[in-house]
Amino acid sequence: MEWLNLRLALLLLSLVLPICISQDNLGPGKSIIGNQTLISSLGTFALGFFSPENSTKYFLGIWYNKIPKTPIIWVANRESPLDSPGVFTLSGDGNLVVLDTVDGT
């Protein structure tokens, strides 16, 4: 009976998994710089740098791509804003890194 439950769970997972996997990715040596964005495969979400209204600081965030004036869903560097649009990259050891374009920190 447990084998049947496992097979059923794997079948359901295989049906859902393709929905979760995006064709857009950020691989080693690739970066998002300045006002560039990475758009999800269905065009629903965007990842990039933004500056809130009445602010001179920049943040890396995710927002709904097709909704104008949409709220930001997630912010990476909330505690460490940048003074200019930065660089978002995947380091050689696999860590995601947000860098300031001016001084590379």
| Segments forming the whole domain that contains residue 90 | 26-99
**How many structural domains compose the chain?**
1
Question: Would you give the distance in Å from CA 5 to the centre of its chain?
Answer: 34
Q: How confident is the model at residue 12 (pLDDT cuts 50, 70, 90)?
A: very low
* pLDDT of 2 above 60: no
Cβ-contact 22, 40 below 8 angstroms: yes
Q: Residue 74: its pLDDT value, please? A: 94
The C-alpha atoms of residue 77 and residue 61 are separated, in whole angstroms, by 8
Alpha helices in the chain, H assignment, sequence order = 2-20
Q: Give per-residue pLDDT as tens, 34-44.
A: 888 889 888 89
Q: Residue 99: its pLDDT value, please? A: 86
Q: Give per-residue pLDDT as tens, 66-84.
A: 888 878 999 988 899 999 8
Q: What is the CATH number of the domain that holds 70?
A: 2.90.10
Q: What is the residue type of 92?
A: G
For the entire predicted model, the pTM comes to 0.69
Beta bridge partners of 98: 88
Q: How far apart are the first and last CA of the chain?
A: 55
